Structure 1
Amino acid sequence: MAPQETTEPRPSSLSLSLLLVLLHMSPEVTSEHLASLPPGCLKGMLRASCQGLGLHTFPEMLPLTIEQLDLSHNHLRVLQDNTTEERPNLRYLDLGGNQLDRLSPGALLPLRWLQALILAGNTLNQDYESNSQALWPLDHLHFLDLSANCLDGDMAAVYVANLSSLWSLDLSNNHIRLLARGTFLGNPNLLDINLSGNYILQIEAGAFQGLLQLRELSLARNSLHCISDFSLRPLWRLNLSFNALQFFATEEGNWGYQLQVLDLSHNQLRAVPMLSALHHLRHLNLSDNHLASLESHPPPLPQDTALWYQEVIRPNLTQSGQNPAVSLPGLTDLDLSRNQLGMFPVDFLSHLSALQRLSMAWNCLQNLSALQPMSVLPLLPLRTLDLQGNHIQTFPSWVFEMLPSLKVLNLGDNELQLCWRTEAGQDGPFRGTPQPFGSAFQLKHLSLSRNGLRKLCSSAFSPTTLFSLDLSGNTGLALVPSDLQGLQHSLRELSFRGNGMESTHLGLPCLQELRVLDLSGNTLDSLPWTLNCSPFLQRLDLRKNHLQALDTEALGSLSGHLTSMFIAGNPFHCCTLGWLVALASANVSIPDLGEAQCVYPSSDGGSWGPLARDHRQFCTWWQGTQAAWVLLAVVSLFLICCVVTSLLQNSPRLPWALRLRKSHQGWN
């Protein structure tokens, strides 16, 4: 999420810069002006696109009203002097994806009011000193894209040396290895720089000198190993993902940092970085590193100690065992996923008084102890907790006591056991916590997907007020109505996707507030009768089951609010589709109707056809056969009755039976 701005409102991203670049002008346009564009160009009031038309030369004449011109992905190789004519209204020019290798010094001179220029995907590394002169007259240029031009650091510095009006610069996907001191001295108004996708190994001190307005910097996908003296104080967003960083630190006493978003994901960090001066930090991404603990300490020195490691071990960069969370009072979003953390960091989290979202997905968490780690638990405002992909078997209730505002909890892809039965006198992991979610009074969204659950505890969720519950991917799960006790008046979304459940194992209670139900990927041959208790159901997913038909009575009770149903992957009977007519009359949408199939019964096992086809002519024989079988059954029953009557009348015991009956009546 973008942080809130704390200084004067100036453009701070590529999209915002482009919005300021593109000025609106009068929509009036004449046919003679439009006729001057090359054939095949898409024409608009203020825009013209000649993208991918195989052009070899710049259009000789342009409509006077055009503000934006797209000539990308053509075959332009050279822009000569006088190639363009005076067009004061042109603000945006895209020449990306051509074969440009030469720009004459006066090639862009008539377009001196240009504000955005895209030169990405060309070969401007050739004759770069001469080519750069073509940009000098553009003293109103705010946005320049030189990405993917095979430029090294020196070439890039030459191209931007005299462009003092630049706000946004894209140098991504080039061949830059070194950022030399003073590279951007000629660009004091830069707001954002994209240097991602290069080969940067070293950044000299003073490389960003003079950039007092810089707000965004991306150094993602480079080869940086260490940043021991981060000093870009006005920066708001810094992306250092996909490098080889083993260390990141700011010096003690360097105040005035405005950094709010820091992405250090996909690096080689083994310890929490030293962020003591970043008091405004809001979003910190440390995912995909090698963190085994959340203590801050310098990494071990390699055998071939480099100069940058000597910088790392300076005394003023160590924190003397201080908890690194202490200096992050405003942190609201922390991503620790895909590391090697083995414990739930209660002490670390206790200092993050503003934390709203925490992800510890895909770590090494195992059993969370049922005993409280502290005598007095800290109260944290955390709202979203992602623990997916660990090895958690137990989830004690004290976690919810520490996180009273928790609303979203993801426990998918774990080994959670909600109903551990004690055997041979052994205590189960839920001893003392009979209701693992019973104290989650604010929890709204819970995922227990892919945990190998076979059954649920009847008191597991009481008295929670869940809105959504994901129980998908638990093969063999058997449910009885009491398992969801306490959710009848709150649950709105429920998923049993991919559980392989039979109809007899799907014991749903009356869920009166249910809106979304996913039953796909099971072996159901009928719908639960308790769907009649869910009058507000809007979306029903029945894909990949064993349904041959749908109960029209059950569908009738849902017709008031049901808006969509997914049905593909079922062996529906082609000649009993009254339920499909009922859905159509109730205006229920079936987005996958074109994928659904049905089967015609026959002696060889049946043949398949599209469900949406008119099946009347194909079902005439079957319906006649059914009627014949019914008539045959009636006739057969009549004949059997006649035979039995005849046998009884001719039986020698029948007169004796009649006399016995008369004598019995006489006694009465």
Structure 2
Amino acid sequence: MAIADPALQHAVDDAVRREGVRRLSELRSLDGSSRGITDLSGIESLTGLRRLRLDDNAVHDLEPLGALRSLTGLFLGGNDIEDLGALRGLDQLPALDVSANRITDVGALSSMTCLTWLDVSHNAVDGLEAIGGLRYLTRLALEDVGMRALPPCDDLVRLRSLSVPRNHLSELGPLSSCKELRALDARANDIDDVAAVATLHQLRHLDLSENPLVDLAPLSALHQLRTLYLWCCEVEDLSPLAPLAHLAELGVADNRVASIDPIRHLDLDLLFLGGNDGVPDAPPAAPGRDLRGPGWRRDATGS
């Protein structure tokens, strides 16, 4: 079958020249990002493709991709995709990006049980139950999908990185089973209770900024934390952070912190403290104005 879309044909021609192959079936990688591609007809002949990038085009129909069973990475962010049904047969695919499309139903993902990396961000998704069964996931991005509750996480025991900012979450309860989680980004939600993260002892990076969070007590058990960001919360007391001996970066700008004494002993490389009126000489929060570097203790107290 001939490739119908001239923009797609140009991308294929470029890839063929780059890889020096004689047959289209021998092509292993194709980057068709930002080329104005609308029609994927004919891409079925590229049966040897391992990696396919079609980000930032105007693709709507994914039917031709169902024949590409050798794919190990498929990147479709920033298109006009509504239906993922054509991808059901790609049950060996490890990495998929369908962010910033028009997807409301992710049910087709339930058959893609080999996925280890998945990005569904910036879609108005109605339900996420299908994702809860993807037991091999290690990285999952669900930014701005309109969810009010996390998907079931009992089977997501391999998850190491989770990004769920800009949703409507009020708590993180389902994450208590994700014991291997290393990085969690839950910025800009409605979270006021982080008790569920207290047992996530492998966490290295945690961002809970822009949440109505006051009580940091559950964080005191996260002894492996390297970076912690709590910008624009309602934090007053930093005492629960005192045991976090490995902490290197701490962002608590725009809170209600009155004293840095509880964390003065921590060997921080970077501290963002601006916008806390109760801290003597803390600068207003603004780019480049926050306290940082080895002299932050002295600068924060003015001594």
**TM tier, smaller:** 0.7 to 0.9
Q: Give the percent of matched residue pairs that are identical in Structure 1 and Structure 2.
A: 26
Amino acid at match of 1:195: L
- Is residue 249 of structure 2 the alignment partner of residue 333 of structure 1? yes
Q: Distance in 1 between matches of 2:241 and 2:221?
A: 12
Q: Distance in 2 between matches of 1:235 and 1:147?
A: 22
**Offset, 1:250:** 2.8
Partner of 1:45: 18
Amino acid at match of 1:338: D
- Is residue 32 of structure 2 the alignment partner of residue 71 of structure 1? yes
**Offset, 1:202:** 1.7
User: So what's the TM-score if we normalise by structure 2?
Assistant: 0.78
* Partner of residue 172 from structure 2, selected from 202, 222, 227: 227
How has the CA–CA distance of structure 1 residues 328 and 229 changed in structure 2, closer, same or farther, with 3 Å as cutoff?
A: farther
**Offset, 1:98:** 3.1
Q: Distance in 2 between matches of 1:208 and 1:39?
A: 39
- Is residue 195 of structure 2 the alignment partner of residue 265 of structure 1? no
* Partner of residue 358 from structure 1, selected from 260, 266, 271: 271
CA distances 1:133-185 after superposition (whole Å, capped 9, x unpaired): x3234344221111122223xx11x23111122221010101135543x6331
Quick check: 1:147–1:172 contact (8 Å CA) kept in 2? yes
Mapping of 1:276-287 within 5 angstroms? 276-287=220-231
Unaligned runs of 5+ in 2: 1-7, 286-292
Partner of 2:123: 174
* Partner of residue 114 from structure 1, selected from 57, 71, 85: 71
Mapping of 1:270-419 within 5 angstroms? 270-272=214-216, 274-294=218-238, 323-325=239-241, 328-342=244-258, 344-346=259-261, 348-349=262-263, 355-365=268-278, 367=280, 387-389=282-284, 407-409=294-296
Q: Distance in 1 between matches of 2:127 and 2:91?
A: 27
How has the CA–CA distance of structure 1 residues 47 and 137 changed in structure 2, closer, same or farther, with 3 Å as cutoff?
A: farther
CA distances 1:293-316 after superposition (whole Å, capped 9, x unpaired): 33xxxxxxxxxxxxxxxxxxxxxx
Q: Distance in 2 between matches of 1:228 and 1:211?
A: 13
Amino acid at match of 2:231: S
* Partner of residue 190 from structure 2, selected from 244, 255, 274: 244
Q: Distance in 2 between matches of 1:328 and 1:411?
A: 21
Partner of 2:161: 216
How has the CA–CA distance of structure 1 residues 70 and 47 changed in structure 2, closer, same or farther, with 3 Å as cutoff?
A: farther
**Offset, 1:241:** 1.0
Quick check: 1:258–1:280 contact (8 Å CA) kept in 2? yes
Partner of 2:140: 193
How has the CA–CA distance of structure 1 residues 216 and 150 changed in structure 2, closer, same or farther, with 3 Å as cutoff?
A: same
Q: Distance in 1 between matches of 2:23 and 2:154?
A: 41
SS of aligned partner of 2:246: coil
Partner of 2:3: none
Q: Distance in 2 between matches of 1:70 and 1:229?
A: 37
Q: Distance in 1 between matches of 2:175 and 2:44?
A: 44
Unaligned runs of 5+ in 1: 1-35, 49-60, 295-322, 369-386, 391-405, 417-435, 437-668
Quick check: 1:265–1:289 contact (8 Å CA) kept in 2? yes
How has the CA–CA distance of structure 1 residues 225 and 65 changed in structure 2, closer, same or farther, with 3 Å as cutoff?
A: same
RMSD of aligned Cα (Å): 3.5
How has the CA–CA distance of structure 1 residues 330 and 75 changed in structure 2, closer, same or farther, with 3 Å as cutoff?
A: closer
Amino acid at match of 1:103: L
Report the more deviating stretch, 211-220 or 278-287. 278-287
- Is residue 100 of structure 2 the alignment partner of residue 100 of structure 1? no
Quick check: 1:37–1:63 contact (8 Å CA) kept in 2? no
Quick check: 2:150–2:174 contact (8 Å CA) kept in 1? no
Quick check: 2:167–2:189 contact (8 Å CA) kept in 1? yes
CA distances 1:370-399 after superposition (whole Å, capped 9, x unpaired): xxxxxxxxxxxxxxxxx4338xxxxxxxxx
Partner of 1:183: 131
**Offset, 1:277:** 4.0
Q: Distance in 1 between matches of 2:260 and 2:301?
A: 20
Partner of 2:94: 142
SS of aligned partner of 2:108: helix
Amino acid at match of 1:144: L
Q: Distance in 2 between matches of 1:363 and 1:46?
A: 56
User: So what's the TM-score if we normalise by structure 1?
Assistant: 0.38
**Offset, 1:324:** 1.9
Amino acid at match of 1:248: V
How has the CA–CA distance of structure 1 residues 46 and 361 changed in structure 2, closer, same or farther, with 3 Å as cutoff?
A: farther
SS of aligned partner of 2:27: coil
SS of aligned partner of 1:247: coil
Q: Distance in 1 between matches of 2:215 and 2:171?
A: 13
Amino acid at match of 1:67: R
Amino acid at match of 2:132: F
CA distances 1:534-580 after superposition (whole Å, capped 9, x unpaired): xxxxxxxxxxxxxxxxxxxxxxxxxxxxxxxxxxxxxxxxxxxxxxx
CA distances 1:436-477 after superposition (whole Å, capped 9, x unpaired): 5xxxxxxxxxxxxxxxxxxxxxxxxxxxxxxxxxxxxxxxxx
**Offset, 1:267:** 1.9
How has the CA–CA distance of structure 1 residues 335 and 251 changed in structure 2, closer, same or farther, with 3 Å as cutoff?
A: closer
Q: Distance in 2 between matches of 1:367 and 1:109?
A: 62
Q: Distance in 1 between matches of 2:155 and 2:173?
A: 20
Mapping of 1:528-539 within 5 angstroms? none
Quick check: 1:250–1:276 contact (8 Å CA) kept in 2? no
Quick check: 1:177–1:201 contact (8 Å CA) kept in 2? no
SS of aligned partner of 1:144: strand
How has the CA–CA distance of structure 1 residues 266 and 389 changed in structure 2, closer, same or farther, with 3 Å as cutoff?
A: same
SS of aligned partner of 2:74: strand
Asked which structure has the greater CA Rg, the reply is 1
Amino acid at match of 2:189: N
SS of aligned partner of 2:140: strand
How has the CA–CA distance of structure 1 residues 276 and 71 changed in structure 2, closer, same or farther, with 3 Å as cutoff?
A: same
**Offset, 1:263:** 0.3
